[in-house]
Amino acid sequence: MADFQENENNYSASNIQVLEGLEAVRKRPAMYIGDISEKGLHHLINETVDNSIDEAMAGYCKNIEVTLNEDGSVTVEDDGRGIPVDEHKKLHKSALEVVMTVLHAGGKFDKGSYKVSGGLHGVGVSCVNALSAHMKSQVFRDGNIYQQEYEKGKPLYPVKIIGTTEKTGTRQQFWPDNSIFTTTTFQWDIVARRMRELAYLNAGIKIILTDMHPHPETGKTRTETFHAEDGLKEFVRYVDRHRQHLFNDVIYLKTEKQGIPIEIAIMYNTDYTENIHSYVNNINTIEGGTHLTGFRTALTRTLKAYADGEPTISKQIEKAKIEIAGEDFREGLTAVISIKVAEPQFEGQTKTKLGNSEVSGAVQQAVGEALSNYLEEHPNEAKLICNKVILAATARIAARNARESVQRKNVMSGGGLPGKLADCSKKDPKDCEIFLVEGDSAGGSAKQGRDRYTQAILPLRGKILNVEKVQRHRVFEAESVMNIIQSIGVRFGVEGEDDYEANTDKLRYDKIIIMTDADVDGSHIDTLIMTLFYRFMPKVIEEGHLYIATPPLYKCTYKKISEYCYTEQQRQMFIDKYGDGTEDGKNIHTQRYKGLGEMNPEQLWETTMDPKTRLLKQVNIENAAEADEIFSMLMGDDVEPRREFIEQNATYANIDA
Ligand code: 0RA
């Protein structure tokens, strides 16, 4: 029987605590689920599914059904043991009610499983309940169907038996509260993406996702089953599906070291970037941490030791006169790492960096053993990897020499600011900002409209390189990239640091603002520039210097009243306020801005550049990682998924204001 660790509270006292707990969640929902936008909304599904995944990881559940119902509710049903329903002696209520109404009560049942403390996940299904206008729990256990319903987290009646059944499991249905969330519409793509990820991360589990909303044209509902018998082996193939591979094998290990379950899958491709996706307790650790450090160390050491021990390869390295660095071993590497940690410590800006120091050694040991075995047993593949590493090192060293000569020339020509930069006159970086502006014509307006004292303008022209598809050093050969680097004052190859990690000590501006058209192309350019910073200058993002400007979509005018509208919603609000009641407010004049170039300098200042009135979106590591992932997904040889994506994501839905 479940052991409730309650203190001596009597029933009524504990009930008051419950209500206070629910009230706290409803008062400050963002503290529990991140935010109250689309992202927070989808968190309700993740939180509910996580409980079923826990039951599956404990070995008691195989199937999870997630249904987006036509009435806007979501149902999550599993075939586990069912949440216990027996009555707690002191609280005089069912265990189910405790799980559903007491904050963090869920975790008390199953000690020893891999739960996540703090951070975004692991707040418990009681939070979902608190943030739902209505919720219905059903438990299939001991031949009975137990049920309880709630409103805004408060039980409507004690747990009751409503029928009999042969099956076991738990069924949760919730109707998100529209007085809490800015939207209560679930998106197939967002849900599917997480369900796919969970299926890959937990081999053998079947997750069936259904959207009951009929398709507007075909009238059909949609179902997809996510299921990977081979877990991460299949995940890494999926992630890398658009790339060409050095060889077809997945290098794979699944083991346990020092009590830490570790699963890793690796592929080598012919591209030039490193793509490592790491997870702790099913959470994507985008900021990395000790597990990633352990992985990288083992990779470098093992491959180095192998190369040193192979006469043909070590001779090749000697002849090329190169020194191989860690990053050379990771060029064209795609890996997925998933580990489980009993008491994870999450750190960093977005609480997705693993801090547990004991993990690094465990992962290092596991990867070292598995990889050296693989290399010994697969001499042909080992040779292909080594050749790729030698090429990477050669290119990197050639690039460093070229870069150093450019830097020397810059210093000799005094400062080396690009000719295209219109700098600001103030020198103290903390008060200065730079706009990276798409196109020369918008650049011209920006130069005229700006505050010359504190705002610098750098017009960008020409193609911005896709970081994925070119050797790393080629990125530095692109004029637009060099202009950005020289203008903002980041330095590469600073003594003792990675060749490709920017040093921000001499940054010349506090804010670096990307300013592009509010259309598909503009959004594509934002993504490219974000990716460039993410890959080569992550410190700029981590230190909070990177922003995206938001130009308005419309200027709406009624008689002498004019307003800039940055969203469709704002335009609708203007029409509602001043319109004469005709369909689209015929008495209102709407000017649509297609590009920055259509605004004169004063308008550009007023709408997009004036610090007093503009709307800036700060880029954080999470947004940037998303942009990067979009890119590695998009830039395969398939053109179609890419176009489709760009069309669907013409707005910056994922960037917080
Ligand atoms: C703890 C103990 C037991 C079941 C669960 C948790 C459980 C929780 C959830 C949440 C969603 N689905 C779930 N399935 C199971 C059962 C303990 C026992 O039967 O002895």
CATH number at residue 289: 3.30.230.10
Alpha helices for 188-289 (secondary structure H): 188-201, 232-239
CA of 171 to the centre of ligand 1 (A): 12
Distance CA 571, CA 574 (A): 5
Q: State if residue 81 touches ligand 1 by the CB under 6 angstroms criterion.
A: yes
Distance CA 331, CA 476 (A): 17
Which of the listed residues 83, 114, 140 should we mutate to test ligand 1's pocket, taking the one with most ligand atoms within 8 A of CB? 83
Max avg pLDDT among 411-425, 553-567, 569-583, 626-640 = 553-567
Mean pLDDT of 211-219: 95
**386 half-sphere exposure, CB direction, 13 A CA radius:** 23
Angle at 274 between CA 522 and CA 405, to 5 degrees: 80
User: Binding site annotation covers 428?
Assistant: no
**Residues with a known catalytic role:** 438, 517, 519, 521
Same domain? 76 vs 204: yes
Instruction: Evaluate whether 341 touches 114 at the Cβ level (below 8 Å).
Output: yes
149 occurs within a structural domain: yes
Same domain? 85 vs 211: yes
Whichever domain contains 117, its CATH number is: 3.30.565.10
Q: State if residue 80 touches ligand 1 by the CB under 6 angstroms criterion.
A: yes
Would you state the pLDDT for residue 14?
A: 65
Same domain? 370 vs 426: no
Angle at 423 between CA 499 and CA 506, to 5 degrees: 35
Q: State if residue 55 touches ligand 1 by the CB under 6 angstroms criterion.
A: yes
CA of 109, closest atom in ligand 1: 1
Same domain? 303 vs 337: yes
For CA atoms 59, 60, 65, 71, give the dihedral sign: negative
The model scores a pTM over 0.95: no
Distances (CA, A) of 286 to 87, 237, 490: 42, 20, 23
Would you state the pLDDT for residue 640?
A: 45
Domain closes at, from 366, 396, 426: 396
Same domain? 309 vs 441: no
362 occurs within a structural domain: yes
Beta strands 546-549 and 554-558: pairing type?
unpaired
Q: State if residue 51 touches ligand 1 by the CB under 6 angstroms criterion.
A: yes
582 occurs within a structural domain: no
Q: Which two tokens stand for residue 254?
A: 């699944």
Same domain? 156 vs 141: yes
Distances (CA, A) of 184 to 175, 177, 389, 569, 570: 9, 8, 49, 16, 19
Distance CA 480, CA 459 (A): 9
Q: State if residue 47 touches ligand 1 by the CB under 6 angstroms criterion.
A: no
Q: Which residues of 222-258 are buried (b: 16+ CB within 10 A; e: fewer)?
A: eeeebbbeebbbbbbbebbebbebbbeebbbbbeebe
CA of 205 to the centre of ligand 1 (A): 16
Which of the listed residues 96, 170, 172 should we mutate to test ligand 1's pocket, taking the one with most ligand atoms within 8 A of CB? 170
Dump pLDDT digits (tens) for 133-189: 999 999 999 999 999 999 999 999 999 999 999 999 999 999 999 999 999 999 999
183 occurs within a structural domain: yes
**648 band by pLDDT with thresholds 50, 70 and 90:** very low
User: Binding site annotation covers 438?
Assistant: yes
Distance CA 76, CA 188 (A): 15
Q: Which residues pair with 457 in a beta bridge?
A: 422, 435
Residue 612 has phi, psi (to 5 degrees) of -75, -30
Same domain? 244 vs 173: no
User: Binding site annotation covers 328?
Assistant: no
**7 band by pLDDT with thresholds 50, 70 and 90:** very low
Would you state the pLDDT for residue 604?
A: 94
Q: State if residue 170 touches ligand 1 by the CB under 6 angstroms criterion.
A: yes
Same domain? 199 vs 308: no
Mean pLDDT of 198-213: 97
Q: State if residue 211 touches ligand 1 by the CB under 6 angstroms criterion.
A: no
**409 band by pLDDT with thresholds 50, 70 and 90:** low
Which of the listed residues 5, 45, 53, 54 should we mutate to test ligand 1's pocket, taking the one with most ligand atoms within 8 A of CB? 54
CA of 52 to the centre of ligand 1 (A): 8
CA of 208 to the centre of ligand 1 (A): 20
DSSP conformational letter for 549: E
Q: State if residue 107 touches ligand 1 by the CB under 6 angstroms criterion.
A: no
186 occurs within a structural domain: yes
* Amino acid sitting at position 241: R
Distance CA 504, CA 426 (A): 19
CA of 51 to the centre of ligand 1 (A): 8
251 occurs within a structural domain: yes
CA of 55 to the centre of ligand 1 (A): 6
What's the structural domain count of the chain? 3
Q: Which residues pair with 147 in a beta bridge?
A: 138, 160
Same domain? 118 vs 204: yes
Domain closes at, from 195, 227, 259: 227
632, pLDDT greater than 80: no
Same domain? 116 vs 155: yes
Looking at per-residue confidence, does 640 or 261 come out higher?
Answer: 261
Q: Which two tokens stand for residue 440?
A: 């020369």
**657 band by pLDDT with thresholds 50, 70 and 90:** very low
Distance CA 262, CA 371 (A): 14
496 occurs within a structural domain: yes
Residues 6+ apart with CB under 8 A from 599: 445, 551, 593, 607, 608
Host domain of residue 545: 417-551+617-652
121, pLDDT greater than 60: no
Looking at per-residue confidence, does 283 or 629 come out higher?
Answer: 283
Same domain? 113 vs 241: no
Would you state the pLDDT for residue 396?
A: 86
Would you state the pLDDT for residue 603?
A: 92
Same domain? 212 vs 253: no
The percentage of residues in the chain with a pLDDT greater than 70, rounded to a whole number, is 87
Whichever domain contains 460, its CATH number is: 3.40.50.670
612 occurs within a structural domain: no
Domain closes at, from 173, 204, 227: 227
